[in-house]
Amino acid sequence: MPGVPPTRFVYLGPEGTFAEQALRTISMAKRASITPARSVPEALDAVRAGEADAALVPLENSIGGAVGITLDELASGDPLVITREVVLAVDFVLAARTGVPLDAVNTIAAHPQAATQCRGWLRAHAPTATVVEVLSNGAAAVGAATAEYDAAICAPIGAERHRLAVLAKDIADHPDAVTRFALVGRPGPPPAPTGHDVTSLAVYISHDRVGALLAVLTELAVRGIILTRIESRPTGERLGRYAFFLDCSGHVAEVRMGEALQGLRRVCADVRFLGSYPRAAGPAGTDGVAKDAAQRGAKGTVAKPVVNAPPGTSDVDFADSAAWLARVRAGDIS
């Protein structure tokens, strides 16, 4: 996908969800075909089958944690890679078909995670209302629009899409909550390094080896690579068999990351490369990237790393050490 702008996008639907809202922050998607999928597997399979160029799926939420189905799907089946990420603020609203007082709202449609994230607000402002669980934030908005329910907890785009009256804004108990989405495509050259990148991996440790997980972490630590996330998921083989999902600071094009990947390949039962892509450090702006990152990249400048490489781990240091070793092997120890 890198080098050839995608023209067909699929996202975790239905319409009017945070996934659609996140996708629409990417400028390429505004000029492309956009189709909702019923599930994460359906969205990713559309990319694998060539029916879509890219899929936007949720990766993790700052309150609910990792989205297990997305990790499982990326770790199995034909390989796919993440080419960019979008971090979206989770701004829930309470919306209804018409403007009504809160005390007149008896039933509220909500996705289970949305209801959980708004539990305190509901207890304080709609204590007598019954919350009815539905399959998605989009489905909640549809339920309110058709008068199946008095109101819905949904994304702002859902209220706008179904012409609902917003009864209350910013109703989440954690106002800084965000969801991280991944734009996934078929394998190809990764986006060029920006100095502000993340590399995602799925690694399978050797279960008959003492200190197998420590060996994985050591390959990263000795090269000054910061592990920003580690998540374990069962492989489905049997109890005690897990895959570890890693997010690391750096890009596969960098020497230290390349050496770390070689090291992991040696000490792990298997390694699946899930992509190197620009890091979105905060809620997305108008092009699917963090607003602060967009500002750093203004006027053609290149974003600086969040954390500089520790001494001895820059590409220059690796090149110097490789040249020294070549001289030693040639007998030049002067």
Say how far apart CA 81 and CA 68 lie, in whole Å: 17
Residue 330 belongs to a domain: no
Give residue 302's pLDDT.
36
Torsional sign, CA 64, 181, 161, 14: negative
28: domain CATH number? 3.30.70.260
Give residue 85's pLDDT.
95
Torsional sign, CA 19, 24, 26, 29: positive
Residue 325 belongs to a domain: no
3-state SS of the chain: helix, strand, coil percent to 5? 30, 30, 40
Say how far apart CA 35 and CA 43 lie, in whole Å: 9
The verdict on 81 and 204 lying in the same domain is yes
pTM: 0.79
Q: Which amino acid is at 327?
A: R
Give residue 290's pLDDT.
54
Give residue 22's pLDDT.
93
The verdict on 132 and 251 lying in the same domain is no
Residue 141 belongs to a domain: yes
The verdict on 13 and 67 lying in the same domain is yes
Say how far apart CA 261 and CA 219 lie, in whole Å: 8
The verdict on 274 and 189 lying in the same domain is yes
Asked if residues 198 and 248 have their Cβ atoms less than 8 Å apart, the reply is yes
Bridge-based pairing of strands 65-66 and 165-168 is unpaired
Residue 219 belongs to a domain: yes
Residue 315 belongs to a domain: no
Count the Cβ atoms, other than its own, within 10 Å of residue 3: 7
The verdict on 279 and 182 lying in the same domain is yes
Residue 286 belongs to a domain: yes
Give residue 300's pLDDT.
35
Say how far apart CA 255 and CA 318 lie, in whole Å: 7
The verdict on 252 and 164 lying in the same domain is no
Count the Cβ atoms, other than its own, within 10 Å of residue 184: 28
Show which of 127, 142, 168 is a domain's final residue: 168
Helix (H) or strand (E) holding 320: helix 315-329
Give residue 269's pLDDT.
86
For residue 133, give its domain range: 93-168
**Who contacts 90 (Cβ-Cβ below 8 Å, separation ≥6)?**
18, 61, 63, 117, 172, 177, 178, 179
The verdict on 71 and 118 lying in the same domain is no
Show which of 168, 201, 219 is a domain's final residue: 168
Instruction: From 212, 193, 195, 194, select the one nearest 203 (Cα to Cα).
Output: 212
Show which of 168, 192, 226 is a domain's final residue: 168
Give residue 297's pLDDT.
40
Mean per-residue pLDDT pooled into runs of 10, the chain (334 residues): 75 88 89 90 95 94 86 93 93 92 93 90 94 90 94 93 94 90 94 93 82 89 92 81 91 92 89 94 62 42 47 76 79 73
Domain count for the chain: 2
The verdict on 21 and 136 lying in the same domain is no
Residue 322 belongs to a domain: no
Give residue 3's pLDDT.
59
Residue 257 belongs to a domain: yes
The verdict on 206 and 163 lying in the same domain is no
The verdict on 127 and 71 lying in the same domain is no
The verdict on 78 and 58 lying in the same domain is yes
Asked if residues 108 and 152 have their Cβ atoms less than 8 Å apart, the reply is yes
The verdict on 185 and 222 lying in the same domain is yes
